């Protein structure tokens, strides 16, 4: 029986310590906690390396993965992150297995067993995220669990790529595994591996290899924990694990208590529902009182007949990425962090849909909520000892560019092009610019794959891969730049391509304290090109960027400029397209940006001349690029005066603003205007 | 600084007077128990090409579609600093983003140790 969504949400919090665990904590001598916590981190690092070296799919190779250590009752003790969200939800299937299968005679749990799952209804994120779980026994006692998880970019769904935009229910999403025992005696059962490979026949090689990579990582970690228990004893391990969880909880409570009590709110908007451009909103009220945080998502748009949903536990896990990489980054990556937190996610909203709902786009559906967590926490932390952690939102575009077909080696593939995914811009901070092309919104440590590797693995030529000018939100400190990539279909007659990238109409990334949000992202395709002839001739006018491509049009072909979000379609040999990864949000008023930093951006071509002059109000010599400080001061003072003269009083603003409303068509899935309440029932086949 | 607490990059709260003030020029915006945005000058930026100079014109470019989004900018009436902005669909209510428990804040920073003990 599937676990109840509210129960799964509670399962991300730690279980209360047992008397035995508290007793075992006394076995730790001074220095043991520090030494053995670090030892666990080394085990995790090693298992991550094993994972990284054995797998083949692009997100795996980019390091967008996790390996984790959990108590016998399933509480997270430590994890290599990687994908923080997977570490958090990793607790749920273990708690489910512990509650359901251990004492079930037809299943049971013994040394050498291997469990496997991918279904969000049992604790995963979405159908693509496959998780292996292994019990750790020493001297016949269950002392821990290990796991290894990574996104598998093919699931046998109704479209290639595992995240079908046309999915109306979970039955359109391909393989969904509830936790099953997929191996015994430390070996995978080949009949069950074959079942999975058969279900994922668009990319069987990746499935077969990556399953083994997951298992190898989890088993390496298991082996290290057994050695530790043999050296120090099972009770020592129990005491160490509980101490880590308690340290994290106490550290979290202490920190929260120092912050100002109150309500912190934010709203973001997403421009895609299923295959359509439609508006939905995410709303967060973060309540801080004493040493407690309550995350209330009431006001978020209702569920739809699209795959842009997630379960409440997945929402919490995605918001936790910011918590674990910023607010509590120096505490153990453990369940203790979640002890002082409550989550309110109303039934029927897009973050808590009916169990039959499609949710293959679960992770991208959380990007707006991730921005909200980031922004509300920054507003909460400004007047606190954690002020240095205040930052605008990261890009949060989720550059899901999926390709499929047969590659130049004759191998069927269905995978992400992970360069854009792992090169979003970082949010600007209160004392510095955001990092350019910093990583992946779900995985701060993710790294863009090498271009040569991409061209070797896939049937594409990379004409351009570089930072995208003017892509970070402007501000006193600017958001990190995103990137732009131009892909050309190479070697083969055709390839299939689709894109889940959002933000062509409105971005779900926010600036902070007057910093601007980053720009929207158009989709650009050029078909029937003469690119190969031009390259063969050695033409000098090959474009080196997206703007040059569409402005100068030196490549002949049929230009299409539309949404960056694309349904699956065919691209022929020589056809090309542009993918942008989003820049991060800006911080603070543009008029306070150090003119010297604007000049530096200009020299590096991170911003355009138009932006330097019209946004930052910079005066400079166009020939020598020397700044005129006095004139800049005057221009900025003039802009301040212009603001005061064009600004309206609140009452005048309200009078004008309240008359406006978006077109009815784009509000099809929004819910009631403007508060996003449910207005209709969704009937699923 | 006196009894002022800096709450955001550009906003202080005067705890004794319970007022939002501009951190840069000291201009008094509004009661600290209200949404500070109501004390700002507000500008509706309808054409976002004025921020994101998009070389692509039409419904899909580098600037948000104005039928989907407008930028609401909040300025300090005293010095013209942009205190905050919000990207909103046309007509969507402005967010009451920071609602502090003013009594607790005053207790935290104004009461002496003895007073805090007595209050407990």
Residue of B nearest to A588 (CA): B9
pLDDT of A468 strictly over 60:
yes
pLDDT of B120 strictly over 80:
no
Residue A614 domain boundaries = 599-646
Chain A CB contacts of B105 under 8 Å are 260-262
User: Band of the pLDDT at A331, cuts 50, 70, 90?
Assistant: very high
Determine if residue A274 is left, alpha or beta; phi over 0 gives left, psi from -120 to 50 gives alpha, anything else beta: left
- The total domain count for chain A is 3
What pLDDT score does B54 carry?
Answer: 87
User: Band of the pLDDT at A400, cuts 50, 70, 90?
Assistant: confident
What pLDDT score does B56 carry?
Answer: 85
pLDDT tens for each residue of A514-554: 999 999 999 999 999 999 999 999 999 999 999 999 999 99
Distance CA B53, CA A199 (A): 47
User: Band of the pLDDT at A601, cuts 50, 70, 90?
Assistant: very high
- Of A225, A245, A263, the residue that ends a domain is A225
- Scored b (16 or more CB within 10 A) or e, A615-627 reads bbbbbbeeeeeeb
- Asked which of A267-281, A445-459, B73-87 is least confident by mean pLDDT, the reply is A445-459
pLDDT of B1 strictly over 90:
no
Percent of chain A scoring above 90 in pLDDT: 96
Q: Is A25 among the domain residues?
A: no
Contact B52 A519 (CB under 8 A): yes
Distance CA A362, CA A267 (A): 19
Residues A582, A603, single domain; the answer is no
ipTM, 2 dp? 0.96
DSSP codes, A411-453: -EEEEE-HHHHT-BPPPPBTTBPPPTT-BBTTBTT--PPPHHH
User: Band of the pLDDT at A405, cuts 50, 70, 90?
Assistant: very high
Chain B CB contacts of A656 under 8 Å are 44
Distance CA A114, CA A455 (A): 35
How many helices and strands in chain A, by DSSP H and E? 20, 20
Q: Mean pLDDT over residues A6-20, rounded?
A: 97
Residues A502, A581, single domain; the answer is yes
Residues A47, A182, single domain; the answer is yes
Residue B93 is given by DSSP the state P
The C-alpha angle with vertex B78 and arms to B75 and B82, in degrees rounded to 5, equals 20
Give the distance from residue A508's alpha carbon to the nearest chain B alpha carbon, in angstroms: 9
pLDDT of A679 strictly over 90:
yes
**A371, A379, A505, A636: best to mutate for the B interface, most B CBs within 10 A:** A505
Residues A441, A583, single domain; the answer is yes
Q: Which of residues 514-533 of A touch B (CB under 8 A)?
A: 514, 516-517, 519-523
Give the distance from residue A509's alpha carbon to the nearest chain B alpha carbon, in angstroms: 9
Distance CA A516, CA A508 (A): 12
- Of A207, A225, A243, the residue that ends a domain is A225
For residue A635, CA distances in Å to A615, A628, A639, A646, B84 come to 11, 11, 6, 16, 21
Q: State pTM to two decimals.
A: 0.97
Residues A168, A144, single domain; the answer is yes
Percent of chain B scoring above 90 in pLDDT: 84
Mean of the per-residue pLDDT values of chain A:
96
Q: Mean pLDDT over residues A439-454, rounded?
A: 91
pLDDT tens for each residue of B22-77: 999 999 999 999 999 999 999 999 999 999 998 888 899 999 999 999 999 999 99
Q: Mean pLDDT over residues A345-351, rounded?
A: 97
Residues A488, A637, single domain; the answer is no
Q: Mean pLDDT over residues A188-209, rounded?
A: 96
Mean of the per-residue pLDDT values of chain B:
93
pLDDT of A677 strictly over 70:
yes
* Facing residue for A506 by CB, picked from B41, B68, B83: B68
**Three-state DSSP class for residue A220:** helix
pLDDT tens for each residue of A361-374: 999 999 999 999 99
Q: Is A74 among the domain residues?
A: yes
Chain A CB contacts of B9 under 8 Å are 382, 430, 476, 512-514, 587-588
What pLDDT score does B112 carry?
Answer: 65
Give the distance from residue A640's alpha carbon to the nearest chain B alpha carbon, in angstroms: 5
Q: Is A621 among the domain residues?
A: yes
What pLDDT score does B57 carry?
Answer: 83
Q: Which residues pair with A658 in a beta bridge?
A: none
Residues A533, A607, single domain; the answer is no
- From the CB of residue A86, how many other CB atoms can be counted at a distance below 10 Å? 27
Distance CA A404, CA A467 (A): 26
Q: Which of residues 352-371 of A touch B (CB under 8 A)?
A: none
Q: Is A85 among the domain residues?
A: yes
Residue A372 tokens, joined: 């909200």
**A383, A586, A663: best to mutate for the B interface, most B CBs within 10 A:** A383
Distance CA A570, CA A199 (A): 23
Residue A65 tokens, joined: 């993965």
Q: Are A266 and A284 within 8 A, CB to CB?
A: yes
Residues A40, A179, single domain; the answer is yes
pLDDT of A352 strictly over 90:
yes
pLDDT tens for each residue of A31-60: 999 999 999 999 999 999 999 999 999 999
pLDDT of A415 strictly over 80:
yes
Q: Mean pLDDT over residues A273-287, rounded?
A: 97
What pLDDT score does B116 carry?
Answer: 67
- Asked which of A404-408, A594-598, B1-5, B46-50 is least confident by mean pLDDT, the reply is B1-5
User: Band of the pLDDT at A398, cuts 50, 70, 90?
Assistant: confident
Residues A52, A96, single domain; the answer is yes
Chain B CB contacts of A643 under 8 Å are 41, 43, 73, 75, 80, 82
Q: Is A220 among the domain residues?
A: yes
């Amino acid at each position: 029986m599937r676990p109840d969504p509210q129960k799964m949400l509670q399962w991300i919090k730690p279980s209360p310590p047992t008397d035995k665990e508290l007793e075992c904590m006394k076995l730790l001598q001074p220095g043991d906690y520090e030494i053995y916590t670090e030892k666990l981190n080394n085990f995790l690092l090693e298992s991550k390396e094993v994972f990284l070296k054995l797998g083949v799919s692009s997100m795996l190779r980019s390091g967008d993965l996790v390996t984790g250590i959990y108590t016998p009752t399933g509480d997270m003790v430590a994890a290599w992150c990687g994908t923080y969200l997977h570490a958090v939800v990793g607790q749920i299937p273990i708690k489910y297995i512990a509650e359901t299968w251990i004492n079930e005679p037809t299943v049971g749990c013994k040394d050498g067993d291997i469990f496997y799952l991918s279904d969000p209804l049992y604790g995963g994120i979405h159908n693509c995220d496959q998780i292996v779980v292994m019990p750790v026994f020493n001297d016949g006692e269950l002392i821990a669990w290990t796991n290894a998880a990574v996104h598998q970019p093919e699931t046998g769904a109704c479209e290639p790529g595992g995240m079908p935009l046309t999915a109306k229910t979970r039955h359109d999403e391909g393989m969904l595994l509830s936790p099953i025992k997929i191996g015994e005696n430390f070996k995978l059962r080949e009949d069950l591996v074959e079942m999975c490979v058969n279900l994922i026949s668009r990319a069987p090689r990746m499935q077969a290899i990556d399953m083994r990579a997951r298992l190898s990582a989890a088993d390496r970690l298991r082996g290290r924990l057994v050695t530790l228990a043999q050296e120090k004893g099972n009770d020592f391990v129990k005491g160490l694990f509980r101490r880590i969880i308690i340290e994290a909880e106490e550290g979290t409570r202490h920190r929260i208590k120092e912050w100002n009590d109150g309500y912190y709110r934010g709203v973001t908007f997403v421009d895609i529902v299923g295959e359509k451009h439609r508006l939905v909103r995410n709303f967060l009220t973060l309540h801080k009182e004493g040493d407690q945080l309550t995350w209330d998502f009431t006001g978020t748009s209702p569920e739809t007949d699209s795959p842009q949903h997630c379960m409440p536990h997945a929402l919490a896990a995605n918001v936790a990425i910011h918590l674990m990489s910023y607010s509590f980054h120096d505490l153990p990556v453990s369940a203790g962090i979640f002890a002082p937190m409550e989550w309110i996610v109303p039934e029927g909203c897009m973050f808590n849909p009916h169990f039959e709902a499609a949710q293959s786009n679960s992770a991208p559906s959380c990007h707006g909520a991730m921005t909200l967590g980031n922004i509300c926490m920054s507003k909460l932390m400004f007047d606190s000892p954690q002020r240095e952690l205040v930052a605008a939102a990261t890009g949060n575009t989720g550059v899901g560019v999926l390709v499929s077909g047969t590659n130049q080696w004759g191998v069927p593939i269905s995978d992400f092009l992970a360069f854009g995914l792992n090169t979003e811009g970082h949010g600007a901070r209160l004392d510095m610019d955001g990092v350019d092309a910093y990583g992946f919104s779900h995985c701060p440590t993710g790294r863009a794959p090498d271009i040569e590797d991409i061209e070797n693995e896939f049937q594409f030529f990379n004409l351009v891969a570089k930072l995208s000018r003017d892509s970070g939100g402007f501000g006193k400190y600017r958001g990190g730049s995103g990137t732009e990539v131009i892909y050309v279909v190479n070697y083969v007659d055709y390839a299939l391509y689709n894109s889940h990238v959002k933000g062509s109409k409105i971005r779900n990334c926010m600036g902070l304290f007057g910093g601007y949000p980053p720009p929207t992202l158009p989709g650009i395709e050029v078909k029937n090109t003469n690119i190969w002839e031009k390259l063969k001739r050695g033409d000098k006018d090959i474009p080196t960027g997206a703007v040059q491509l569409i402005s100068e049009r030196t490549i002949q072909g049929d230009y299409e400029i539309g949404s960056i979000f694309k349904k699956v379609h065919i691209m022929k040999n020589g056809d090309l397209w542009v993918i942008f990864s989003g820049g991060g949000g800006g911080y603070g008023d543009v008029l306070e940006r150090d003119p010297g930093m604007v000049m530096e951006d200009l020299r590096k071509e991170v911003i355009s001349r138009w932006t330097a002059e019209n946004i930052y109000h910079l005066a400079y010599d166009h020939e020598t690029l020397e700044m005129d400080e006095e004139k800049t001061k005057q221009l900025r003072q003039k802009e301040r005066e212009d603001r005061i003269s064009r600004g309206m009083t609140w009452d005048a603003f309200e009078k004008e603003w309240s008359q406006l409303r978006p077109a009815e068509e784009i509000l099809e899935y929004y819910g009631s205007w403007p508060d996003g309440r449910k207005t209709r029932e969704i009937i699923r086949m | 600084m006196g009894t002022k607490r800096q709450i955001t990059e550009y906003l202080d709260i005067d705890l004794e007077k319970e007022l939002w003030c501009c951190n840069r020029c000291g201009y008094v915006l509004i009661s600290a128990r209200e949404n500070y945005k109501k004390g700002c000058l507000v500008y509706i930026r309808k054409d976002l090409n004025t921020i994101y100079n998009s070389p692509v014109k039409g419904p899909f470019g580098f600037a948000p579609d104005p039928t989907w989004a407008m930028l609401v900018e909040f300025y300090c009436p005293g010095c013209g600093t942009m205190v905050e902005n919000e990207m909103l669909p046309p007509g969507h209510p402005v967010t009451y983003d920071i609602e502090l428990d003013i009594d607790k804040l005053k207790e935290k920073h104004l009461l002496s140790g003895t007073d805090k003990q007595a209050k407990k």
